[in-house]
A = this chain, B = another copy of it.
Amino acid sequence: MEVDGGLDVTYLNKYCNSSSSSSSSSEQDRKIFMKLKLNLSGDYPRKNAEFLSGQYGINLFLIGVAVMLAVAGDKPSVEESHLLAFVTCLMVLQLIWMMWYILLRERRKNTRTERDVNATTSWIRGALTVLAVLSLVMDSFRIGYFVGFSSCLSAVYAVYPVVHATHTIAQVHFLWFHIKDVVKSLETFERFGVIHAVFTNVLLWCNGVMSEAEHFMNNHVRRLSSLDSENITIVSSEPECNSSTTSSTSSLFSRGLVYLFPFNIEYHIFVSVLLFVMWKNIGRTISSNKKSLVTKTQGLTLGPILGLLTLASTIAVLVVYITRIEGVLEMRQSAVSMFYIYGIVMLAVMCFSCASGLLIYRADHMPLDTSKNTSRQLDTELLFGSSLGSWFLSWCSVVAVLCTDSKVSYRWTNLVYSIFIVLEKYLQNLFIIESLYRKQERVERSDPELPAVSEIFSVTSSMAPPFSGIINRAYETPDKTPEMEQEEGREMYRCEEQPEEPLNMKRLILKNIAVFLIMCNISLWLLPAFGCRPQYDNGLEQDIYGFSAWTTVLNFAIPLNLFYRMHSVASLFEVFRRV
């Protein structure tokens, strides 16, 4: 209705009037043709334009994945340079579109562009800029690597980092100045542009994940072959090259790349989520209610202290793990054991925190905020969906431990660790969801500067209804304003104003829990992101599922788990502000 309704009715009336006055069939044919032409060029229905561009984006992605699969094969007939050439083409296309978009906006500077104030926060943009800078460092390393091996590398290995660097700079500029735009002209075309940008970033993410997985696999295979004397051929990550002069610097670049991968990966997945929000916003009408958030930090002691302790010990465990895992068999086994024991302790404390939070909610009963809020729903769905990877890993481990004949020391700690991983995600998801869905009257009254429904932090927060593309006037609830609902809430919970003290105590506990969980989730991101992946090193699951099946599972589940940890940090930060 909203998008093309206005045009429609006037147009249709015009058509109807003219068709009733003229009755000759050739005239009518001409008119139908004209009408067809007009409709094809101009106002394509919004819902269909969404699917039209969405299907284009998905197919782009699937082509990329198909090429990656061909590259990753045992005896690849498709080379990595082909893949890089394909991705480079996509980036160039995106660059052209962004340039065109920016120029168009420059030219129309006078007409006010509608903006979605909730689309990002300066916090997120700052974090993305840092990640982008690290990506630029990575690109410079790539160029350095190419210079070292230039005699025997395809030219695409030089073109790719240059285009990627340009792409990164242009994209950061776009994120700073245009990501909040609500596109209202040339909607169907812009939809294609934005979804192209989304899936280009998703493919770059996939490419990063693949490179990282390959690197891990090579390390893993090297370790296996050197220690257990299994006869698996080592695939060298460096090209066979005659030039001996440059190899030392280039190897340095190649080693440096490894530590920059995790940041580049997170950069691309975050950008694609932001661009997806922009895509969803195209053609929407945004109600501009600017909210300001103030985060209160008083009374926070135990949570941050415990959290920082966890973070510090995690970094220690990470360093010990990485150094010991390169050693002899006993050292490796002790490293794995250490990891599991450390994990069990941390996860147990996290489970306990989440359970306490949930118990506090049960004791302090309050109806859920049942108002329609699609952003929140998307957040919880992403949380739920990205848990699947890690849950699947854990259950595979449980099945493997129960079936194996191996007598390694960490067999049962692995079982306990896996069950704790499942339990921790189960409880943490429940805790986050309940926190996000609870009504907030109480907070409002004690902190009048806090907004009622503060969703600003969430990267997906701008997807307020009508997020689904179906615009429904009924959402606006003309007979029940927010003020009236607040009134109702105040009536229902007036009595709670009396016991002020215990409520604040509860809020303080919840805030501490949230901070602690944020630190723990950062720790659990750090460990796998920088190479602490006992699933590769313990050998239990690999025995049961076979090398190729198990590494496939890991290559699918670990990136999903990394995304889960990042996303839960963002969600927990919102929880921290709301409670």
Indicate whether A62 reaches chain B with its CB closer than 8 angstroms. Answer: yes
Indicate whether A470 reaches chain B with its CB closer than 8 angstroms. Answer: yes
What B residues does A545 contact at CB under 8 A?
69-70, 73
What B residues does A70 contact at CB under 8 A?
396, 399-400, 403, 544-545
Contact of A370 among B434, B470, B476 (CB under 8 A): B470
Q: Which of A16-24, A126-134, A265-273, A337-345 is found at the contact surface with chain B?
A: A16-24
Interface size range on A against B: 35 or more
Closest 8 CB pairs of A and B: A16-B495, A474-B477, A66-B395, A66-B396, A39-B362, A36-B363, A66-B399, A372-B472
Q: Residue of B at shortest CB range from A76?
A: B544
Is the Cβ of B403 less than 8 Å from the Cβ of A78? yes
Instruction: Identify 14 new A-B residue pairs, CB closer than 8 A, beyond the known A48-B368, A63-B399, A474-B477.
Output: A5-B367, A46-B368, A47-B370, A51-B433, A55-B429, A58-B391, A62-B388, A62-B392, A69-B545, A70-B545, A73-B545, A370-B470, A372-B468, A472-B475
Is the Cβ of B544 less than 8 Å from the Cβ of A392? no
Is the Cβ of A384 less than 8 Å from the Cβ of B498? no
> Beta-carbon contacts of A25-50 to B below 8 Å, as 1s and 0s?
00000001001100110000111100
Indicate whether A292 reaches chain B with its CB closer than 8 angstroms. Answer: no
Indicate whether A52 reaches chain B with its CB closer than 8 angstroms. Answer: yes
Is the Cβ of B47 less than 8 Å from the Cβ of A368? yes
Q: Given known contacts A19-B499, A495-B16, is B62 in contact with A370 (CB within 8 Å)?
A: no
In the complex, chain A residues 109-126 whose Cβ is within 8 Å of any chain B Cβ? none
What B residues does A5 contact at CB under 8 A?
367
Indicate whether A530 reaches chain B with its CB closer than 8 angstroms. Answer: no
Q: Report the separation of the CA atoms of residues A559 and B16 in the bound assembly, to the nearest whole angstrom.
A: 49
Q: How close is A375's CB to chain B, nearest CB, in angstroms?
A: 12
> Beta-carbon contacts of A467-507 to B below 8 Å, as 1s and 0s?
01011111111111000000000001101101100000000
Could you list some 13 contacts between A and B, CB below 8 A?
A: A1-B367, A12-B365, A39-B365, A51-B384, A51-B429, A51-B430, A55-B429, A59-B422, A69-B553, A77-B403, A473-B477, A474-B475, A474-B477
Q: Residue of B at shortest CB range from A395?
A: B66
Is the Cβ of B433 less than 8 Å from the Cβ of A55? no
What B residues does A480 contact at CB under 8 A?
473-474
Is the Cβ of B549 less than 8 Å from the Cβ of A69? yes
- Chain A binding surface SS class: helix
Is the Cβ of B544 less than 8 Å from the Cβ of A1? no
Is the Cβ of B377 less than 8 Å from the Cβ of A470? yes
Q: Residue of B at shortest CB range from A485?
A: B473
Q: How close is A441's CB to chain B, nearest CB, in angstroms?
A: 12
Indicate whether A84 reaches chain B with its CB closer than 8 angstroms. Answer: no
Q: Report the separation of the CA atoms of residues A45 and B366 in the bound assembly, to the nearest whole angstrom.
A: 9
What's the number of copies of this chain in the assembled complex?
2
Q: Report the separation of the CA atoms of residues A388 and B433 in the bound assembly, to the nearest whole angstrom.
A: 29
Q: Given known contacts A51-B430, A437-B47, A545-B70, is B392 in contact with A8 (CB within 8 Å)?
A: no
Is the Cβ of B433 less than 8 Å from the Cβ of A78? no
Q: Given known contacts A17-B495, A474-B480, is B45 in contact with A367 (CB within 8 Å)?
A: yes
Is the Cβ of B474 less than 8 Å from the Cβ of A62? no
Q: Residue of B at shortest CB range from A478?
A: B479
What B residues does A466 contact at CB under 8 A?
370
Q: Report the separation of the CA atoms of residues A63 and B396 in the bound assembly, to the nearest whole angstrom.
A: 7
Indicate whether A238 reaches chain B with its CB closer than 8 angstroms. Answer: no
What B residues does A368 contact at CB under 8 A?
1, 45-48
Is the Cβ of B66 less than 8 Å from the Cβ of A392? yes
Is the Cβ of B13 less than 8 Å from the Cβ of A495? yes
Is the Cβ of B496 less than 8 Å from the Cβ of A16? yes
What B residues does A478 contact at CB under 8 A?
479
Q: Given known contacts A471-B370, A474-B475, is B65 in contact with A392 (CB within 8 Å)?
A: yes
Q: Residue of B at shortest CB range from A50?
A: B433
Indicate whether A548 reaches chain B with its CB closer than 8 angstroms. Answer: yes
Q: How close is A503's CB to chain B, nearest CB, in angstroms?
A: 12
Is the Cβ of A77 less than 8 Å from the Cβ of B8? no
What B residues does A553 contact at CB under 8 A?
69
> Beta-carbon contacts of A60-89 to B below 8 Å, as 1s and 0s?
001101110110111101100000000000
Q: Residue of B at shortest CB range from A389?
A: B62
Q: Report the separation of the CA atoms of residues A157 and B36 in the bound assembly, to the nearest whole angstrom.
A: 63
> Beta-carbon contacts of A544-555 to B below 8 Å, as 1s and 0s?
111011001100
Q: Which of A17, A48, A67 has the most CB of B within 10 A?
A: A48
Indicate whether A326 reaches chain B with its CB closer than 8 angstroms. Answer: no
Is the Cβ of A544 less than 8 Å from the Cβ of B73? yes
What B residues does A17 contact at CB under 8 A?
495
Is the Cβ of A546 less than 8 Å from the Cβ of B39? no
Q: Report the separation of the CA atoms of residues A388 and B466 in the bound assembly, to the nearest whole angstrom.
A: 26
Indicate whether A230 reaches chain B with its CB closer than 8 angstroms. Answer: no
Is the Cβ of A498 less than 8 Å from the Cβ of B20? yes
Is the Cβ of A73 less than 8 Å from the Cβ of B370? no
What B residues does A404 contact at CB under 8 A?
77
Indicate whether A54 reaches chain B with its CB closer than 8 angstroms. Answer: yes
Q: How close is A473's CB to chain B, nearest CB, in angstroms?
A: 7
Q: Which of A48, A66, A553 has the most CB of B within 10 A?
A: A66
What B residues does A51 contact at CB under 8 A?
380, 384, 429-430, 433
Indicate whether A398 reaches chain B with its CB closer than 8 angstroms. Answer: yes
Q: Report the separation of the CA atoms of residues A59 and B347 in the bound assembly, to the nearest whole angstrom.
A: 18
Q: Which of A5, A51, A396 has the most CB of B within 10 A?
A: A51
Is the Cβ of A59 less than 8 Å from the Cβ of B470? no
Is the Cβ of B384 less than 8 Å from the Cβ of A4? no
